[in-house]
């Protein structure tokens, strides 16, 4: 998986889109490779600039297609009430960070299938445009023939069609965590009626595929001249195997804590600030007294309104603190279900918090009941303690993500 130190490029529908440092390495490799491809395909001279310009454009379009693939997952996830914390492009493609797991097999299938469908549409569009422009000559360039006698636009379309078909075929392998593995997981989940059984089945297939890829990679590295391909396959296999093993561990952990809910772990006597309290009162009676970085804010019916953090309160000029109300400073981050992102239902299973980005960011979440009233606060430390007790010690929340 990509590292968390990413460079944010833009936001799409509020989702931060960034790149891992490894993306820059792959960008360079892709441009270097494509420069040679276009020189051969177009029959350009060695000092021609056109192949390099086309290589840069094609590399950006390639990563654009990866981004569209991940946005396919993200948009369907949002429509199913699952928040997306980020989309990150890295050396092996892209990843969309889902804030919770699917609740049904159908939900899992729809999200998993969305990305491949986008990739299929991109490949089909490139093929259709290339055929419309050049007809039969288009197939010559897709077959990597030199001096194919086609325009630069068609050469770009041919390469994009090829690479998206390869991405589609690879992603549809029935091994978790690939999209095909997630579809397999959804099918096994539907057949058995148990999510964790489906997850472990798909993850075991992922481990098997990883062993095969590493074996083929080592063979290519040692017994053929395709040593670069061998190294690449072995590295991808190792990454897939690591992800699949982590998925098996998390699935087993979920089974152990499956009956534990947020209410079983949370502090059910939380300190909350009334929304009509003054900022001066919040600082003197809450922040200075308890020394916590944030507090939940509630209305008269004790319904959760939002969070107020110490920094926001300190930023209010002293002369205004007695008259300015806490309600004016609260942080209300809306979630995909209409539920604030800083909250969790008190009847939610504890495993739903694994990988929760807001829990990691804040160190805790406000727990609310079905009517939106504050019923408790659950902290990262409490979740970690519950996980350690479930497995007999030694497991932290970050290890199970």
Map residue 8 onto helix, strand or coil.
Answer: strand
Question: Higher confidence at residue 74 or residue 387?
Answer: 74
Q: Among 116, 141, 172, where does a domain finish?
A: 172
Q: What is the average pLDDT across 260-278? A: 90
What pLDDT score was predicted for residue 394?
44
CATH number of the domain residue 347 falls in: 3.10.580.10
Question: Residue 163's closest CA among 30, 54, 43?
Answer: 30
* Helix pair angle (50-79, 152-171), 10° resolution: 40
Residue 63 lies in a domain: yes
What pLDDT score was predicted for residue 332?
56
Residue 25 lies in a domain: yes
Question: Highest-confidence range of 100-114, 125-139, 330-344, by mean pLDDT?
Answer: 100-114
pLDDT range class, residue 400, cuts 50, 70, 90: very low
Q: Among 145, 172, 199, where does a domain finish?
A: 172
What pLDDT score was predicted for residue 27?
86
Identify whether residues 305 and 216 lie together within a single domain. Answer: no
Structure tokens of 369? 């009941």
338: left (phi over 0), alpha (psi -120 to 50) or beta: left
Question: Residue 168's closest CA among 239, 120, 240?
Answer: 120
What pLDDT score was predicted for residue 140?
62
pLDDT range class, residue 398, cuts 50, 70, 90: very low
Identify whether residues 158 and 200 lie together within a single domain. Answer: no
Domain that holds residue 130: 1-172
Q: Is residue 138 predicted with pLDDT exceeding 70?
A: no
pLDDT range class, residue 393, cuts 50, 70, 90: very low
What pLDDT score was predicted for residue 68?
94
Identify whether residues 168 and 194 lie together within a single domain. Answer: no
DSSP letter string, 289-355:
HH--SEEEEE-TT-BEEEEEEHHHHHTS-GGGTTTSBGGGT-B--B-TTSSBTTEEETTSBGGGGTT
Percentage above 70 pLDDT, the chain: 88
Q: What is the average pLDDT across 241-247? A: 88
Residue 178 lies in a domain: no
Q: What is the average pLDDT across 340-356? A: 80
Question: Higher confidence at residue 387 or residue 392?
Answer: 387
Q: Is residue 378 predicted with pLDDT exceeding 80?
A: yes
Residue 180 lies in a domain: no
Q: What is the average pLDDT across 43-48? A: 70
Separation between Cα atoms, residue 363 and residue 378, nearest integer Å? 9
Q: What is the average pLDDT across 10-22? A: 83
Identify whether residues 242 and 266 lie together within a single domain. Answer: no
Residue 129 lies in a domain: yes
Percentage above 90 pLDDT, the chain: 36
Q: Is residue 1 predicted with pLDDT exceeding 90?
A: no
Instruction: Count how many domains the chain has.
Output: 3
Report yes or no: 214 and 232 within 8 Å, Cβ to Cβ. Answer: no
pLDDT range class, residue 66, cuts 50, 70, 90: very high
Q: Is residue 93 predicted with pLDDT exceeding 60?
A: yes
Separation between Cα atoms, residue 18 and residue 105, nearest integer Å? 29
Identify whether residues 74 and 25 lie together within a single domain. Answer: yes
pLDDT range class, residue 34, cuts 50, 70, 90: confident
Task: Name the pairing type of β-strands 374-379 and 93-98.
Answer: unpaired
Separation between Cα atoms, residue 57 and residue 40, nearest integer Å? 17
Per the prediction, the chain carries an average pLDDT of: 84
Distances (CA, A) of 11 to 6, 19, 20, 118, 357: 14, 12, 16, 19, 17
Q: Is residue 291 predicted with pLDDT exceeding 70?
A: yes
Q: What is the average pLDDT across 178-189? A: 94
Q: Is 389 exposed, middle or buried (CB count within 10 Å of its CB: 0-12, 13-18, 19+)?
A: middle
Separation between Cα atoms, residue 315 and residue 294, nearest integer Å? 14
Map residue 178 onto helix, strand or coil.
Answer: coil
């Amino acid at each position: 998986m990509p590292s968390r130190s990413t460079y944010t490029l833009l936001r799409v529908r509020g989702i931060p889109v960034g790149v891992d440092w490894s993306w820059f390495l792959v960008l360079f490799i892709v441009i270097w490779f494509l420069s040679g491809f276009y020189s051969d395909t177009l029959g350009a001279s060695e000092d021609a600039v056109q192949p390099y310009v086309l290589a840069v454009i094609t590399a950006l379009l390639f990563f654009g297609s990866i981004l569209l693939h991940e946005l396919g997952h993200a948009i369907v996830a949002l429509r199913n009430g699952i928040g997306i914390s980020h989309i990150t492009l890295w050396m092996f493609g892209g990843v969309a960070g889902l804030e919770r797991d699917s609740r049904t097999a159908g939900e899992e299938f729809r999200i998993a299938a969305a990305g491949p469908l986008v990739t299929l549409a991109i490949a089909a569009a490139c093929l259709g445009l290339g055929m419309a422009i050049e007809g039969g000559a288009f197939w010559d360039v897709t077959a990597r023939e030199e001096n194919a006698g086609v325009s630069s636009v068609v050469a770009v379309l041919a390469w994009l069609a090829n690479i998206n078909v390869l991405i589609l075929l690879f992603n549809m392998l029935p091994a978790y965590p690939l999209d095909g593995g997630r579809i397999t997981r959804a099918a096994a989940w539907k057949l058995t009626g148990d999510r964790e059984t489906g997850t472990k089945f798909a993850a075991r297939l992922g481990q098997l595929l990883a062993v095969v890829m590493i074996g083929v990679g080592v063979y290519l590295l040692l017994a053929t001249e395709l040593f670069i391909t061998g190294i690449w396959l072995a590295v991808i296999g190792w990454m897939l195997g690591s992800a699949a093993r982590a998925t098996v561990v998390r699935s087993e952990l979920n089974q152990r804590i499956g009956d534990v809910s947020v209410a079983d772990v949370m502090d059910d006597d939380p300190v909350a600030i009334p929304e009509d309290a003054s900022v001066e009162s919040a600082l003197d009676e809450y922040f200075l007294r308890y020394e916590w970085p944030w507090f939940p804010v509630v209305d008269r019916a004790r319904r959760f309104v939002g969070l107020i953090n110490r920094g926001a309160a300190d930023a209010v000029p002293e002369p205004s603190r007695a008259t300015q109300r806490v309600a004016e400073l609260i942080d209300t981050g809306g979630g995909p279900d209409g539920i604030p992102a800083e909250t969790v239902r008190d009847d939610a299973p504890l495993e739903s918090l694994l990988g929760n980005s807001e829990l990691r960011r804040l160190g805790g979440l406000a727990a609310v009941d079905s009517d939106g009233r504050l019923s408790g606060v659950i902290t990262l430390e409490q979740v970690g303690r519950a996980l350690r007790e479930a497995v007999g010690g030694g497991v932290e929340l970050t290890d199970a993500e």
